[in-house]
């Protein structure tokens, strides 16, 4: 019999070792850890211990993810409260970007909006945005996370010093030069549907190349974009 036939026989005859219990103590198996041969029972115990260790590592990983999600959820609620509580439309963009820096420990954040109501067109957050940036924002159907490969929007992060509330920048003119990774979120009027053209772009940046990386989960970033869009939509013409 070849090994496959032996295995098939034992699978098809589960009572074999019940009827031949004496074999359990006499069969010797090689130890994968390089020790002397062990009995079948000892080998089974080793396999169970290894499996338990794997399950423990998996459980610890799931618990870590759970704690991280709870922490992010708490921060998201704090940020949401700030945004909803801001009644001054002129201060709203700074509340959104500044809150991301303070609540989520994002090193740099800024945003721009365009085609706003006449009353807001002289505000810093409504400064001119090139057609290239607008086209890029329109093309985003999900948050972009990855390396800062010279995005024009990343220059907004260094457009003002850290005391500038309207731009939401932190770190002054050196910010953009030190940004290694970015998250870019298109702003769309939630009342116009998911295919609506973007009316703005929110950018977050970090000197850590792994802070925003391709493949990272974007669920909370998507929620941030939706809430920011809903809040900023009051700046659009009626």
C-alpha dihedral, 136 to 142 to 148 to 153, nearest 10°: 40
Can you give the pLDDT at residue 105? 93
116: its two tokens: 């706003």
**pTM of the full predicted structure?**
0.68
What is the distance in angstroms between the CA of the first residue and the CA of the last residue of the chain? 83
- The domain ranges of the chain are 1-85, 88-235
Per-residue pLDDT of the chain (238 residues; tens, 9 = 90+): 788 887 788 788 878 777 777 766 666 666 555 555 555 566 667 777 888 888 888 888 887 777 777 888 899 999 999 999 999 999 999 999 999 999 999 999 999 999 999 999 999 999 999 999 999 999 999 999 999 998 999 999 976 334 343 333 334 444 555 899 999 999 998 888 767 899 999 999 999 999 999 989 899 999 999 999 999 999 999 8
Can you give the pLDDT at residue 25? 63
Report d(CA 128, CA 13) in Å as an integer.
78
Options 1.10.3210.10, 3.30.450.40, 3.40.630.30, 3.40.50.12160; CATH of 88-235? 3.30.450.40
Cβ contact 198:186 at 8 Å:
yes
Residue 141: C-alpha distances to residues 72, 113, 145 (Å): 23, 17, 12
Burial of 227 (0-12, 13-18, 19+ CB in 10 A): middle
CB atoms near residue 51 (< 10 Å): 10
């Amino acid at each position: 019999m070849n090994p496959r036939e032996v295995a098939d026989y034992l699978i098809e005859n589960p009572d074999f070792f019940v009827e031949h219990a004496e074999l359990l103590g006499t069969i010797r198996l090689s130890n994968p850890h390089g020790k002397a041969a062990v009995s079948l029972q000892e080998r089974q115990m080793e396999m169970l211990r290894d499996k338990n260790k794997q399950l423990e590592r998996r459980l610890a990983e799931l618990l870590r993810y759970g704690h991280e999600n709870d922490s992010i959820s708490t921060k998201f609620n704090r940020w949401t409260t700030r945004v909803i509580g801001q009644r001054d439309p002129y201060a709203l963009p700074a509340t959104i970007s500044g809150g991301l820096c303070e609540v989520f420990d994002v090193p740099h954040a800024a945003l721009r909006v365009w085609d706003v109501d006449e009353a807001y067109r002289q505000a810093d957050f409504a400064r001119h945005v090139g057609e290239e940036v607008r086209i890029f924002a329109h093309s985003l159907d999900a948050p972009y996370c990855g390396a800062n490969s010279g995005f024009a929007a990343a220059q907004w992060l260094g457009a003002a010093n850290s005391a500038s509330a309207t731009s939401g920048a932190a770190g002054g003119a050196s910010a953009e030069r030190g940004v290694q990774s970015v998250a870019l979120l298109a702003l769309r009027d939630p009342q116009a549907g998911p295919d609506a053209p973007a009316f703005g772009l929110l950018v977050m940046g970090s000197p850590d190349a792994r802070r925003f990386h391709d493949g990272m989960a974007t669920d909370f970033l998507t929620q941030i974009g939706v809430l920011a869009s809903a809040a900023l939509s009051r700046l659009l013409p009626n």
